[in-house]
Structure 1
């Protein structure tokens, strides 16, 4: 069946999973590119749920000023959701319900902005459309602060979260250093990262030597050994006078059990709900070493910190949104626009198409040579990879009241 021309049909955009500081930058890139090609864009309210329930927002209502504001607003302006559709056989009714929504609104292009699970959903929707001979082009659009999507060099959303992490660790370290003589000796910072330690690694950009914070990084790629960890903390305090620890939320012991979890509950994707490893580690340090400890769990702050977004991340987030529209209109079905690194110095990159079949449900972990031999820090290779991703400041505009000017659509 022939593909529709750009003057026919509607483009449906939806967001999935945890939002990022620049996911709306991607949305703005999608809408701007589609407008330039006179293609109508509908945005699903709360991700795939909006598509299932025919709860759609016509982005034609956005003024040029609102569209510019959208690009520097954190969160997900159209809402998101943690809903994973099962196989075509198990969730047949819901997939067919999606097709009914597409038919009702003459949707010919479906862009799903998310991570691994979202890439899988976009791939399955493309397969169903082919089965029903419905002319639909499905594009997965990359997004995640965890930086664990396969194929792409990095993920839009990660660079800004990495910048927030590195800056926060450096600033906290100055605070701890100032108080260490008579107060806090150890500070524990918990970073997001279930199976991959990308954000924990980004904290390593805060210092360059073993005597600069973070003094210890705990990665999910390495088994947690409490005795070795406590000995390391003691050694750092003895040498430096104080110690900053960064721990990925997903660190596990030698038996592959999460060091800390939130009652072993599950999220909508079936993943163990993590959070609390910093508090656990702080407690062990205090109990075993008798030192005063403070800890922090930044949680959503890591992914919502638009006030300190990376310029590199901003540009890449916008670029994948624009390319997603271009790929859709070219009929590049079951494809994702991914980032390919051309060089480290000077840092150069471009957007290229990659098949969703190579991305869906795959997970990119930290390369072994990114972690120091002792397991507690990053290598020069990791620094070369990470450094360009946090460069530049994409500050939002501020109002006279001192607050950023963000867009709230109230949908």
Structure 2
């Protein structure tokens, strides 16, 4: 039996399968008789000493997390700065960990979370506190470095591809007398992975999506209008998928809402689909509809990818195993062994190779004209959305999701305001 407690925390935007990772973490730790605490609302809970005792949850509830979307313990968008700039917060965090005999810290998030886990490991080493920190991958944006893909992306990609296929059938049915152009906005601030996934909805240039706008390519409005017009004249309608982060050649976000920055330093974007729809209507005179799936992309557990679910659970299991082996400042990453048949495995990667790095779409994944995906992209993307993993449904026709009790652990330190 390992000594000490494990603290698990979720970070940033949640996904359809992040709770599957949490479920795997808790079940694996329980099998090794390691107590698991969870931070309520991510790093904020750790700083506030607002911790949850997962041992109060029955085994059936922990298993049910695997098919429940959202973040069972709460997450937050809070980024700790450097050890020098946020020294007091890091020392408070370490004090909380020490007070509860936490020897394993698992932080489930993206690039910024990997950076935080790395810095916590460095501070613990400075103070001589025996702590093993492991970053656990998660993001629908698929922009984590080193790992082949990110748990959460496959399900969001599946939702995107299926939604675009279904919307396109609707538009095609009505195009003669109604909508000529449909604009679908996909998440992706700097990397167009989800927009690219929409390309799986069609196989040839006359099948939707007809035009994909990537943040990796400058938005050229006159050229875009010309291509929309040509598609409508050729096909009868045009389905456009636009990444929220598309920019003009001078680096300005097309959908910059002018609302400043969020906690991670990201520009607040204001809806590129509605903007594009208005411009197309004004310039070309077509009837246009648009959609902003937003949270639907990352919460659609009913349409999860089986591959994604399997990988989300696998990184959770490996994260615990790595931690108990004392593998500090690492992350379990997905390594692709082959495309066909699709094979993958989990290996450990150093956090300093992941923290604050961003993986964008390879240039050979984007078609030469800049408006679609290549066969190389299809080979990469298609296995990630493969397989179905539906949740159990009740007689009322609604999925049977679980809500945990989330019993708080008694505080041992003075109150702390973040």
Q: Same fold (TM over 0.5)?
A: yes
2:274 is aligned with 1:253:
no
2:111 is aligned with 1:116:
yes
Question: Which of 215, 218, 227 is the aligned partner of 2:213?
Answer: 218
2:194 is aligned with 1:199:
yes
Number of aligned residue pairs: 406
CA RMSD across the alignment: 0.7
- Distance in 1 of aligned mates of 2:9 and 2:204: 43
- Distance in 2 of aligned mates of 1:248 and 1:392: 25
2:56 is aligned with 1:61:
yes
TM-score, normalization by structure 1:
0.98
Residue 190 of structure 1 corresponds to: 185
Residue 133 of structure 1 corresponds to: 128
Higher mean alpha-carbon deviation, 401-410 vs 119-128, is at 401-410
- Distance in 1 of aligned mates of 2:366 and 2:94: 46
Question: Which of 221, 233, 238 is the aligned partner of 1:238?
Answer: 233
2:300 is aligned with 1:300:
no
1:281-318 Cα offsets, whole Å, 9 max, x none, are 00011000000000000000000000000000000000
Higher mean alpha-carbon deviation, 59-68 vs 366-375, is at 59-68
- Distance in 2 of aligned mates of 1:315 and 1:382: 21
2:89 is aligned with 1:89:
no
Higher mean alpha-carbon deviation, 57-66 vs 260-269, is at 260-269
2:371 is aligned with 1:352:
no
- Distance in 1 of aligned mates of 2:115 and 2:270: 26
Residue 49 of structure 1 corresponds to: 44
Structure 1 stretches of 4+ with a deviation exceeding 3 A read: none
Correspondence list, 1:171-190, <5 A = 171-190=166-185
Unaligned runs of 5+ in 2: 407-418
Question: What is the Cα deviation at residue 67 of structure 1?
Answer: 1.0
Residue 22 of structure 2 corresponds to: 27
- Distance in 2 of aligned mates of 1:387 and 1:266: 34
Contact 2:4 2:103 in 1 (8 A): yes
- Distance in 1 of aligned mates of 2:30 and 2:270: 41
SS of aligned partner of 1:376: coil
Question: What is the Cα deviation at residue 28 of structure 1?
Answer: 0.2
Question: Which of 263, 270, 273 is the aligned partner of 2:265?
Answer: 270
SS of aligned partner of 1:165: helix
Contact 2:57 2:404 in 1 (8 A): no
- Distance in 1 of aligned mates of 2:97 and 2:250: 47
TM-score, normalization by structure 2:
0.96
Residue 389 of structure 1 corresponds to: 384
SS of aligned partner of 1:71: helix
1:113-167 Cα offsets, whole Å, 9 max, x none, are 0000000000000000000000000000000000000000000000000000000
- Distance in 1 of aligned mates of 2:105 and 2:318: 13
Higher mean alpha-carbon deviation, 261-270 vs 272-281, is at 261-270
SS of aligned partner of 1:354: strand
- Distance in 1 of aligned mates of 2:267 and 2:243: 14
- Distance in 2 of aligned mates of 1:145 and 1:274: 17
Question: What is the Cα deviation at residue 64 of structure 1?
Answer: 1.4
Question: What is the Cα deviation at residue 410 of structure 1?
Answer: 5.5
Correspondence list, 1:4-19, <5 A = 6-19=1-14
1:263-294 Cα offsets, whole Å, 9 max, x none, are 24321111101231000000011000000000
Unaligned runs of 5+ in 1: 1-5
Residue 144 of structure 1 corresponds to: 139
Residue 367 of structure 1 corresponds to: 362
1:222-275 Cα offsets, whole Å, 9 max, x none, are 000000000000000000000000000000001010001222432111110123
Contact 2:7 2:38 in 1 (8 A): yes
